Structure 1
Amino acid sequence: MKKKLIAATTAHFKSVFQHEPESVFLSPGRINLIGEHVDYNDGFVLPAAINKYICFAISTSQTDEFTLVAQDLNETYRFNWSETLQPVDKMWVNYMLGVLHQMKMKGFSFAGLNVVFSSTIPMGAGLSSSAALECGFGYALNKLFKLGLSREEIALIGQQSEHTFVGVKCGIMDQFASVFGKKNHVIKLDCTSLEHEYHTADFKNYTLVLFDSHVKHTHLTSGYNDRRNEVEQGLNTIKTHYPSVQTFRDCTENQLESLRNELGETLYKRCHFVIQEIRRVNEAVKALDQNQFEQLGNLMFETHEGLSKEYEVSCAEVDFLVEFVKNKKQVIGSRMMGGGFGGCSINLVEKGSEKALFESISKAYREQFGITLSYYKVKISKGTSKVKKKIKN
């Protein structure tokens, strides 16, 4: 699959620009095992890069012009990098313009660039194709023009690109996982300090399966930003009464409970989910290290319950997918993954049972919603990298 993607992207570059690309890069999507919506709440998360990629075939040119070709969309965008960069009406372009804008603000300058990119990351499935696009492009610029940026700086540039040119106040997790991914390891990431540690993710007799609901409700961006505002408001109220509390990880359930009436039910539920989810991530790391996969699965189910009922970022379709597998002995954990309001559920499934499970759940899902389900078996892979040798067609 990876070789095929590299070969197809390289071939398309050659057909558009009439020569081989100078360099080829791969930037992965990501999963998050547990720790949802806490990356912007000073929490810990447990993401990993996966074997779904955006491939970039790139060459420098002798002009100041950038030519960006989105192979899968059959769209091309040209601009002069030295001119003022502003968001445009093509969303995929904004992710890349935002990265270039951040680098220009740091004082870097460039030659022209010809870029073709193509992807095996399913769009709208909550696998962070946007972070893969930002970070892959940033990583490529850093390598090609020898800018000397660290991986951490590339991840932060990707995040700022999304804040400024796309308008989503995302946390750092997606970009960090895409850049820092390590094969067969999850990353326990402190989203405040960016301190991180790797933990082996060998699931033994289980495999990670994603069920793609193929729905993306339109209130994702507005709902996401609303939740950020609600938890900020809640935390400010908590700090007023408990000055020792700086972040949600300092806050106890008893402190929160004492402010339930003042917060009101909505803010209380949002804050309660965050405090519980920070606890769950720490427990999940322990379970993973001790190969206690059923405990890990229970924590995933708990997270989904919180995302659905307290944080209210799930939807009927994804709730159905999680509920359906709850009593299946071959599934030990399941939850909504990503920003919410659609996308995928992530499941820990007994090896060998994936196909039969998919057939039964997809039949039930089609009967309930009239939508065809997709599934992806994913493996944990390394982060953004340059392809060492081009694959000839």
Structure 2
Amino acid sequence: MNEILIQNTTAFFEKSFGKAPEKIVLSPGRINIIGEHVDYNDGYVLPAAIDKVICFAFEKSNSKTSKIIAIDLNEEFEADLTQEIELSDVVWTNYILGVIKQLQDNGFSFDGFNCVFSSNIPVGSGLSSSAALECGMIFGIKELFGLQIEKVDIALLGQKAEHWVGINCGIMDQFSSVHGLENKVIKLDCNTLEFEYHNADFKDYSLVLFDSNVKHSLFTSEYNNRRLECEEGLSIIKNHFPEIKTFRDCTEEQVLSLKDKMTEVVFRRVHFVVKEILRVTQACEALDNGNIEVLGQLLFDTHDGLSKDYEVSCAELDFIVEQAKKEEAVVGSRLMGGGFGGCAITLIKKGHENSIKEAFTSLYFDTFGIDLKIYDVKVSNGTSLYTTN
């Protein structure tokens, strides 16, 4: 699948600049298997890089000017590296300008470059195309000019670039885009950035993303509310159990014992968080043991919690997951990402994918009048150089 993307990107570069590129970089999107809304609650996440990528072709421009062409948008811009980098009205360019600014601000020395890029990561589907863009650009500049930048610093620089653009993202997206390994998920502590790999051999099952094709506008306000509700709940827990510092120190029994000390809403929020942190550990054990059925049930449990206790789902995503529960060939499904729209990550027994896709597509349109988008994904390697060897 990516071979055609690489060929087209390379050919476009040659047409634009008259010669073959010096470096070709592939930078992937990501999924999160489990561990939703716990990155800001001192929990763990379980992301993986996927086989949907942005392909970049680079060369040195032998000047102080960089020219960048976005093939898919049919747009281009130039950046003068001798001038102060400032935000542009053209939104997509800011992610690249942010990368250049972060590298310069952190003392890295490099000259101008020419770059074209193209992507098969669906934009706006919650697969972190922006993180792939940032990390791929940093990696390409690093390789082109021989800069010494560790993987974790590529991720952190990418995150800072996105903050500069105005999006206050966590570290998971950039970290998983850079650190991904084929058939491995990453158990990541978003506070300390400590991580470990776990097997992600889905054996007889396929990973399919059902994109609800809806985006409800509640996300920002409700996200902020959830953070406040969780902070209130943790404060109550600490008052009664002084030895507890974070949600990961807390047991479900302790939360249940404090039910009458919290509002119903705060109780449901913290009950979800404590159970979800535990589910990440259980998911790692299931993957290491090759028990995909157990993993699937954890996905269903997470969705129930996100829908009923954390209340970040929507009618469209609940519908997809409820249909999934009725299918014997589906072992698990849940909303992935912040919620109020986006994708349901789903594990389907191989050989049944097409019939389930057709059934879901028809039922979804009949119910909501919306076309269901569908993406097949595989767990793949992180940002890397492409070589023809």
Q: Same fold (TM over 0.5)?
A: yes
Q: Equivalent residue for 2:59?
A: 59
Bigger drift between 267-276 and 83-92 goes to 83-92
Aligned pairs (5 A) from 1:333-372: 333-372=332-371
TM-score normalised per structure 2: 0.94
Q: 1:71–1:329: structure 2 CA closer, same or farther, 3 Å change rule?
A: same
Gaps of 5+ in 1: none
Bigger drift between 304-313 and 249-258 goes to 249-258
Q: Matched residue of 2:113: which SS?
A: strand
Q: Equivalent residue for 1:95?
A: 95
Q: Equivalent residue for 2:131?
A: 131
Deviations 1:263-282 (A, max 9, x none): 43333322222111100011
Q: 1:244–1:163: structure 2 CA closer, same or farther, 3 Å change rule?
A: farther
TM-score normalised per structure 1: 0.93
Query: Are 1:388 and 2:387 counterparts?
Result: yes
Shift, 1:361, TM fit: 0.6
Identity among equivalent pairs (%) = 54
Shift, 1:226, TM fit: 4.2
Q: Matched residue of 1:209: which SS?
A: strand
Q: Equivalent residue for 2:250?
A: 251
Please tell me whether the aligned partners of residues 186 and 198 of structure 2 are also in contact (alpha carbons under 8 angstroms). yes
Deviations 1:195-239 (A, max 9, x none): 222222122211111111122223434444443344344434544
Which amino acid in structure 1 is aligned with residue 117 of structure 2? F
Q: Equivalent residue for 1:273?
A: 272
Q: Equivalent residue for 1:324?
A: 323
Q: Equivalent residue for 1:201?
A: 200
Bigger drift between 37-46 and 129-138 goes to 37-46
Q: 1:240–1:147: structure 2 CA closer, same or farther, 3 Å change rule?
A: farther
Shift, 1:9, TM fit: 1.1
Shift, 1:328, TM fit: 0.7
Query: Are 1:378 and 2:377 counterparts?
Result: yes
Which amino acid in structure 1 is aligned with residue 378 of structure 2? K
Q: Equivalent residue for 1:76?
A: 76
Q: Matched residue of 1:127: which SS?
A: coil
Q: 1:108–1:229: structure 2 CA closer, same or farther, 3 Å change rule?
A: farther
Please tell me whether the aligned partners of residues 301 and 334 of structure 1 are also in contact (alpha carbons under 8 angstroms). yes
Please tell me whether the aligned partners of residues 124 and 216 of structure 1 are also in contact (alpha carbons under 8 angstroms). no
Q: Equivalent residue for 2:301?
A: 302
Which amino acid in structure 1 is aligned with residue 320 of structure 2? L
Q: Provide the rounded CA distance (Å) in 1 between the counterparts of 2:128 and 2:7.
A: 23
Q: Provide the rounded CA distance (Å) in 2 between the counterparts of 1:163 and 1:225.
A: 17
Q: Equivalent residue for 1:147?
A: 147
Please tell me whether the aligned partners of residues 185 and 199 of structure 1 are also in contact (alpha carbons under 8 angstroms). yes
Shift, 1:128, TM fit: 1.2
Q: Equivalent residue for 2:226?
A: 227
Please tell me whether the aligned partners of residues 21 and 57 of structure 2 are also in contact (alpha carbons under 8 angstroms). yes
Please tell me whether the aligned partners of residues 58 and 144 of structure 2 are also in contact (alpha carbons under 8 angstroms). no
Gaps of 5+ in 2: none
Q: 1:119–1:356: structure 2 CA closer, same or farther, 3 Å change rule?
A: same
Q: Provide the rounded CA distance (Å) in 2 between the counterparts of 1:137 and 1:311.
A: 36
Q: Provide the rounded CA distance (Å) in 1 between the counterparts of 2:88 and 2:253.
A: 48
Q: Matched residue of 2:159: which SS?
A: helix
Bigger drift between 319-328 and 214-223 goes to 214-223
Aligned length: 389
Q: Equivalent residue for 1:165?
A: 165
Q: Provide the rounded CA distance (Å) in 1 between the counterparts of 2:224 and 2:152.
A: 24
Which amino acid in structure 2 is aligned with residue 29 of structure 1? G
Shift, 1:259, TM fit: 4.7
Q: Provide the rounded CA distance (Å) in 1 between the counterparts of 2:320 and 2:289.
A: 28
Q: 1:226–1:147: structure 2 CA closer, same or farther, 3 Å change rule?
A: farther
Q: Provide the rounded CA distance (Å) in 1 between the counterparts of 2:138 and 2:233.
A: 35
Q: Provide the rounded CA distance (Å) in 2 between the counterparts of 1:259 and 1:105.
A: 48
Q: Matched residue of 2:198: which SS?
A: strand
